[in-house]
Structure 1
Amino acid sequence: MSRRARPLPPWLAHALRAQRGPVPWSAVVRGALSAGPLLLAAVLAGRATLGVVAAIAAMLAGINDRPGSRRSSVHRIGVPALAGAAGVLGGTYAGDHLGAVPLTLVLTLLGLVAGGLCAIGPVASAAGTQVLVATAVGAGMPLPESAGQRALAFLAGAAWLLALRLALPTPGSLAGDFRFDGERAAVAGVYDAIAGLLDAVGTDHALTRRAALTAALDQAQDALTGPRLRRYASSSAERRLHAQYAAALPLAEAATALAWAGEAVPARAGEGPRRLAAAVRGSTHTGPLPAPSRSAPALRALDDALLHAAEAFDRGKENRNLHARRRTVRDRVRAGLGAGGREYGLRVALCFGAAAGIAQALHHARWYGQHTHWYWLPATAVFLVKPDLGPLVSRVLCRAAGTVLGALVFAGFAAVLPRPEGLVALVAVSGALIPVATRHFAAQTAVVTLLVLALVMVGGEPQASVGRIGETLLACAIVLVAGHLPMPGQRGGGVRSRLTAAADAATAYLTHVLGEAGTQADGDPDAPRAVRWTLRREAYRTLAEARGAVALTAAELPALARHAQGADHVVTTLEQLVDATTACAVHLDDTGRLTPQHTARLTELLDTLAGERHRTGLRVPEAAAVPALAG
């Protein structure tokens, strides 16, 4: 009898897991044309050190060059680049005018502020990380240029990669308007996800497909929020994309209601969304769409949504009542000042400040020798403390392994490559590898280590592989210790803040749907539905963020994972509540009243959440409020 293999602990399994997918050849080309050519131009002009700064900016911009639309890349790359330029400017002044102790205090305070801002969202997280890294580089990198020249070089490097992102077409997109290929792919992905959910209705895969639909809608919403892609779009192509995205929302709602009911639908139900997806990708008309059976409210809603989509595709008219909810400035500040932002800000300040202080002490210690690259230590600590890169121990292991591998490979190349042309070529190759290496933190670390060590040598400094390994291992130790230290207040603030946001969004959605039946007869019937679709999007989006935060915390070592105990059950219950609310919305549209099955399910879920209220503090309606809300 064979013995079953014991599963790996979550933190180790995460370290061995890599993202999969096709090679992003467009990003690879941009990476090859960014840092390397910039560095070569600077070397030929006799300003190699400015080229090093520009290449660092291009490298950081390349890390933020993720799949998506061109317009959204302006925010995703541009905002962190501006933050980085400000960091270079301020860091250079601080490094030139402050002693070791005042400089360490300033960096610690900056870590506290930037860490809190990182809790706002992905772009803010990238900007907060980049301002800290750039500040450390500006304060510690020995360069002859002034602070202003360094900041301009940093901006030029990031702007060059952003210009490549906006100007170069994606392979296979030249048949249409290639400027919107990312937007078209994202919107088409929504219709494909709807078809996948319809195919899975009544099976065990329905929940997974519904989660995939949520992710596709999130990606499309992000893709359509870049500059000029606004509510009142300026071109016919933009208006058409908005109309196609808006037409997908009632389809997604009907498909979710069918999945909640769990009754199998005709096989031809998914054919219509697939034809719509093909029409989006090819910028063509939909042609005839197969009509599903109209034997149930959700099937009738699906049929009506298909007819509405066909009309929207042909006319390209945008629904002016529909707009994506964007978080206000107050919401953003509240996220940064909340429990999750405070806890992460304190942890970043502790790691960044401790690393800067230790680096400064080593830099001025006579027994330690020359410590030119002291800024490596705080810059490495910033990347290591980021929770969105995986569980703490997992990212520490990946960082250490990637640095050792990258440093050893570079030592071999440095022994044989001609200088500086060989090193410039190595920078270009490393830049091309970054888009592929971002799928695993260890691989990304190895490639970045190659690139950074090459830049150091081009800037006129000696080979520093051993120093790079030592700095990284020291930073790993600092972050590993600081990550497990107790913080003021209750631990797990990031998970609690996500759960609270998800519960608030689910409650707002439920309250609106159960109070909507009496308003649809008055005025424009599409107006309350547009609000409903907006609230539904916000509910599912915050739930996806909460589930990601819970999964990340649960994969930590037991000392940290225990703070997420029971949170997964709460997220699952909230997801079921939003699914049931969606089914209620579709049924109310068709009949104007709820069935006993809908009411009983809502009551059951609210009772379950009420049982968690004393532990989580979540604000959800009482089960007794369901009849009152339903009117």
Structure 2
Amino acid sequence: MSRDVRRIPALVLPPWLAHALRAQRGPVPWSAVVRGALAGGPLLLAATAAGRVSLGVVAAIAAMLAGINDRPGSRRASVRRVGAPALAGAAGLFAGTYAGDHLGAVALTLVLTGLGLLAGGVSAVGPVASGAGTQLLVAAAIGAGMPLPDAGWQRALAFLAGAGWLLVLRLALPTPGALSGDFRFDGERAAVAEVYDAVAALLDAAGTEHAVARRAALTAALDRAQDALAGPRLRRYASSSAERRLHAQYAAALPLAEAATALAWTGEAVPRRTGEGPRRLAAAVRGATHTGPLPAPSRSAPGLRALDDALLYAADAFDHGRSGDLHTRRRSPGSVLRTVFGAAGREYGLRVGLCFGAGAAVAQALHHAHWYGQHPHWYWLPATAVFLVKPDLGPLVSRVLCRAAGTVLGALVFAGLAVVLPRPEGLVALVAVAGALIPVATRHFAAQTAVVTVLVLALVMIGGEPQASAGRLGETLLACVIVLVVGHLPMPGQRAGGVRARLTAAGGAGHAYLTHVLSGSDDRATRWTLRREAYRTLAEARAAIALTAAELPALARHAEGADEVAATLERLADTTTACAVHLDDTGLLTPHHVERLTALRGELAERRDRVGLRLPELPLAG
């Protein structure tokens, strides 16, 4: 007897909801947890002992914001990642305090809207600039809306002291497990070692369906290593042999990555032992030891010969620790200004300015309403709007859902704890616990919002404000409505400006890389730098496209076709790499290389015209 079995289709969530439920994974960053616990609590205790509780609250807020920016990576990168937003936050606090003290409601709203336009445009430059723009606006709202007895310059100094304390902890405290060597460079060693592991993984995947994903993982590893080494030198003139060696080890990974990409491009498997050399190099980086003998791959093909040469180059670099400065990603002031005032900066700035200004206007209206006199401090609403309107934090609806859910949870938790905790000791301990949870909570926006809500409510109560969970929840929901409305308003010019700007940058970088390769230049250092920029801009474009694709259809449709353009540019970069390796070996391109470049040239032109992008015409090969 047969049975009619009907398969129940799997539940497929829409992208905007799936993104809201997705969380990052990874080991617990215990060193960041310790820093978070030591950040706000000691500052509050010191300020209380000195009789300046209000300044302690400001310093603890700064330490909290610095903790949000204290992401995994190297110490040198943390100087810029934490320090630049802290400086912007201090400036915003100074400006907001004096504007709130001397301007009326209408003039203050106009000033805050102008700051939002400026900070939004700057945020389009990159992650660090985005963090700076966020802290500028959040601190400006706090300065204007939180009545404290201290002068603006005192608040700004307290803000810098709080962020600086967290940065001192970041630079001084060792990472667990890194005490055996020079712990100042543990983040850099881990990042560079991951590059060699990624090279080995790509070689293992050559000729399989996993090769494309492994090549993307290699790009991500190179990006992280580039960022890890891009901060200030920890010793003047780089006198540390460990520091020089890390620069050399990163530079030695570039020709290895090039050879591995060329081998994967052929679609043919390589001998299993081919990846053993990069894996030994990874172990040598992690242990700060010598490489020992490296197994030589077969030299039967141009890619394998390039890989063998790269291994010999790496062995010499590891022994002598000499290299050029290839890790720095330089941006001219002109390119930064073009980003700020270009399509991406204008769209970003207009939305941030409208949301921040509208949030400030509504909050002040509620502040002056007699029926809303229970919670007179109005900074929460515009500050919440700033976090919600930042597109680099996730798709719009996902951000709104996570912010609302996190605020509800955080407000309920704090309302319960505020009843039983002694004051101020219990609240100070709660600040320390919440600070320790921030590094873990940053993996999901709702969790981060819940922890930050508890921490901020504890801080404002320590500063003398009554329990305000209900008011904060209502203001958060108002901010969600404002950001949802502004986020879907029609804007002048083409939408998805951020995606288009990043695709344009990726197209220009790919064009420069291909032009250099086809020119026959022997300057390999420049070639490797151009290759890095081509793949890095492609990764940034892919990230922007993925975020836009997870928006509601009304917003996601403006980036239709962008993913196909990015895929074509990636295939072009891989083909250019294969051409470079083959030209090094033979001095000539094969008909297959020329045919592939010609096909990609036509494909890119077709897809570029379909989505209305302006990309440079690729040079002809042959």
Which of residues 219, 223, 228 in structure 2 aligns to 1:214? 219
Distance 1:143 1:319 in 2: 52
AA matched with 1:616: G
Of 36-45 and 137-146, more deviation after overlay is shown by 36-45
Residue matched to 1:490: 494
Distance 1:221 1:40 in 2: 39
Of 200-209 and 434-443, more deviation after overlay is shown by 200-209
> How far does the alpha carbon of each residue in 1:451-481 deviate from its partner, in whole angstroms, 9 at most, with x for none?
0010111111110000110010000000011
AA matched with 2:195: V
Name the SS for the 1:626 alignment partner. coil
> How far does the alpha carbon of each residue in 1:427-464 deviate from its partner, in whole angstroms, 9 at most, with x for none?
00000000000000000000000000101111111100
Structure 1 position 502 matched with structure 2 position 506: yes
Of 4-13 and 575-584, more deviation after overlay is shown by 4-13
Residue matched to 2:588: 593
Name the SS for the 1:33 alignment partner. helix
Which of residues 376, 379, 400 in structure 1 aligns to 2:380? 376
Contact persistence 1:363–1:370 (CA under 8 A):
no
Distance 2:573 2:87 in 1: 38
Contact persistence 2:226–2:327 (CA under 8 A):
no
Of 331-340 and 417-426, more deviation after overlay is shown by 331-340
Q: How do 1:208-607 and structure 2 match up within 5 A?
A: 208-228=213-233, 233-319=238-324, 322=326, 324-516=328-520, 519-520=521-522, 528-607=523-602
> How far does the alpha carbon of each residue in 1:260-290 deviate from its partner, in whole angstroms, 9 at most, with x for none?
0011001111110010011011110000101
1:37 to partner: Cα distance = 1.3
Q: How do 1:95-244 and structure 2 match up within 5 A?
A: 95-228=100-233, 233-244=238-249
> How far does the alpha carbon of each residue in 1:517-541 deviate from its partner, in whole angstroms, 9 at most, with x for none?
xx43xxxxxxx11100000000000
AA matched with 2:68: I
Contact persistence 1:609–1:620 (CA under 8 A):
no
Name the SS for the 1:264 alignment partner. coil
AA matched with 2:131: A
Structure 1 runs, 4 residues or longer, greater than 4 Å off: 229-232
Distance 2:424 2:376 in 1: 21
Contact persistence 2:230–2:327 (CA under 8 A):
no
1:323 to partner: Cα distance = 5.1
Distance 2:337 2:41 in 1: 38
Which of residues 22, 25, 35 in structure 2 aligns to 1:17? 22
AA matched with 2:348: Y
- Using a 3 Å threshold, how does the CA distance of structure 1 residues 441 and 323 change in structure 2: closer, same or farther? closer
Residue matched to 2:613: 617
Contact persistence 2:230–2:329 (CA under 8 A):
no
Contact persistence 1:384–1:476 (CA under 8 A):
yes
Q: How do 1:37-76 and structure 2 match up within 5 A?
A: 37-76=42-81
AA matched with 1:581: T
Residue matched to 1:523: none
Distance 1:603 1:230 in 2: 49
Distance 2:534 2:235 in 1: 22
Name the SS for the 1:4 alignment partner. coil
> How far does the alpha carbon of each residue in 1:66-115 deviate from its partner, in whole angstroms, 9 at most, with x for none?
01110110000001001101111111000000000000000001100110
Structure 1 position 32 matched with structure 2 position 37: yes
Distance 1:372 1:42 in 2: 25
Distance 2:586 2:468 in 1: 72
TM-score (norm 2): 0.98
Contact persistence 1:384–1:395 (CA under 8 A):
yes
Contact persistence 1:228–1:234 (CA under 8 A):
no
Contact persistence 1:499–1:618 (CA under 8 A):
no
1:229 to partner: Cα distance = 6.3
> How far does the alpha carbon of each residue in 1:162-200 deviate from its partner, in whole angstroms, 9 at most, with x for none?
000000000111111001111111111100110110111
Of 36-45 and 568-577, more deviation after overlay is shown by 36-45
Contact persistence 1:118–1:126 (CA under 8 A):
yes
AA matched with 1:600: E
- Using a 3 Å threshold, how does the CA distance of structure 1 residues 291 and 504 change in structure 2: closer, same or farther? same
Name the SS for the 2:238 alignment partner. coil
1:39 to partner: Cα distance = 1.0
Distance 2:93 2:394 in 1: 27
1:239 to partner: Cα distance = 1.1
Name the SS for the 1:6 alignment partner. coil
Contact persistence 1:286–1:313 (CA under 8 A):
yes
Structure 1 position 626 matched with structure 2 position 620: yes
Contact persistence 2:229–2:327 (CA under 8 A):
no
> How far does the alpha carbon of each residue in 1:480-514 deviate from its partner, in whole angstroms, 9 at most, with x for none?
11100011111111111011000000000000001
Across the aligned residues of Structure 1 and Structure 2, the Cα RMSD in angstroms comes to: 1.2
Residue matched to 2:91: 86
Paired residue total: 616
Contact persistence 1:32–1:429 (CA under 8 A):
yes
Name the SS for the 2:34 alignment partner. helix
Contact persistence 1:610–1:620 (CA under 8 A):
no
AA matched with 1:327: R
1:334 to partner: Cα distance = 1.0
1:157 to partner: Cα distance = 0.4
AA matched with 2:136: V
AA matched with 1:620: P
Contact persistence 1:62–1:434 (CA under 8 A):
yes
Distance 1:354 1:230 in 2: 47
AA matched with 1:333: L
AA matched with 2:369: A
AA matched with 1:467: G
Of 605-614 and 85-94, more deviation after overlay is shown by 605-614
Contact persistence 2:375–2:468 (CA under 8 A):
no
Distance 1:369 1:195 in 2: 64
AA matched with 1:241: L
Contact persistence 2:410–2:450 (CA under 8 A):
yes
Q: Which runs of 5+ in 1 are unaligned?
A: 521-527
Distance 1:93 1:231 in 2: 39
TM-score (norm 1): 0.96
Contact persistence 2:24–2:443 (CA under 8 A):
yes
> How far does the alpha carbon of each residue in 1:564-608 deviate from its partner, in whole angstroms, 9 at most, with x for none?
111000000000000000000000000000001101111111100
Name the SS for the 1:382 alignment partner. helix
Residue matched to 2:3: none
